Amino acid sequence: MAETQSPEAVETAETVPVSEAESPANTEAAPEERLVIEHPLPPAPIITDGPWASAHFLMEEYACDCDGYCDGWPAEMAPELLEKIEALRYAFDRPVIITSGVRCDQRNAEVGGIPNSWHCFGHAADLYCPGIPYTEVARVARTLGLGVIEYPGQAFDHVEIWD
């Protein structure tokens, strides 16, 4: 990421400028800035032909990330959830990072999910939006009709649909 970006370029950039985090001016973060996720951005855009879950998300971003207990798809992702997450991305016009989509029962148990979590049915995802407080992501997600559980400790949100 070039450090000489014009403000205009920053506004339209697909990713959050890394230089923001490196700026000495940001060493004393305002309280609300601590709500922003501290996870690093993915190293590079994923280059692939898909298949796509929605306009900006690859289906593989939602696959079960277990170590071989399943083939990655113990259930199909609910299309309505995928559309709502795409709408969430549209609302912020920034990348939204999926940290967990569908899970097999074994993976769900490993990560401490509740038994019969909506993740096991492809009806839930965990996500964050770099640069946006998780509380704001949660607020907008609720306006889109998503059920939301906020995880302040790790600054991400669990979103789900019920039908």
Select 9 or 152, whichever has its Cβ closest to Zn ion. Answer: 152
Which listed residue (16, 63, 66, 120) binds Zn ion by CB under 5 A? Answer: 66
73 belongs to the binding site for Zn ion (CB under 5 A): no
104 belongs to the binding site for Zn ion (CB under 5 A): yes
Cα torsion for 110, 121, 118, 150, to the nearest 10°? 80
Q: Measuring CA to CA, how many Å separate 67 from each of 70, 106, 125, 156?
A: 8, 10, 18, 23
148 belongs to the binding site for Zn ion (CB under 5 A): no
Select 15 or 106, whichever has its Cβ closest to Zn ion. Answer: 106
Number of chain residues interacting with Zn ion (CB under 5 A): 8
Neighbour count for residue 138 (Cβ, 10 Å): 18
User: If you ran DSSP here, which 8-state letter would residue 41 be given?
Assistant: P
Task: Give me the residues that bind Zn ion (CB under 5 A), please.
Answer: 64, 66, 69-70, 104, 107, 126, 158
